[in-house]
């Protein structure tokens, strides 16, 4: 029996529900960041449907600065 592949397909499209479940992002935050030019633009799938390329979201995530938290 073959194990299921665990590597993400970089061409996979992520819907808003995926952004919320995998990255903890809310629609309000995503669209605010898009408006500010700090989040990748979605691709149109239909008249009322958009998605994001997983690869672009991963690049965005990796570009985010680390939090500066000091331990006491």
Residue 3 belongs to a domain: no
- Count the domains in the chain: 1
pLDDT tens per residue across span 43-65? 999 999 999 999 999 999 999 98
Residue 56 belongs to a domain: yes
The confidence band for 70, taking pLDDT boundaries of 50, 70 and 90, is confident
Domain region containing 56: 13-63
pLDDT tens per residue across span 3-47? 555 555 556 999 999 999 999 999 999 999 999 999 999 999 999
Measuring CA to CA, how many Å separate 45 from each of 9, 42, 51? 18, 9, 7
Residue 35 belongs to a domain: yes
Q: What share of the chain is helix, strand, coil (3-state, %, to 5)?
A: 40, 15, 45
Global pTM reads 0.75
Residue 5 belongs to a domain: no
Residue 54 belongs to a domain: yes
Predicted local confidence at residue 3, as pLDDT: 52
């Amino acid at each position: 029996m073959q194990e299921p592949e665990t590597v993400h397909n970089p061409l996979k499209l992520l819907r808003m529900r995926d952004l919320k479940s995998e990255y903890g992002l809310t629609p309000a935050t995503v669209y605010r960041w898009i408006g500010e030019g700090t989040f990748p633009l979605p691709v149109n799938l239909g008249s009322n449907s958009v998605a994001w390329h997983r690869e672009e979201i991963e690049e965005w995530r990796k570009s985010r600065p680390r939090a500066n938290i000091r331990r006491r």
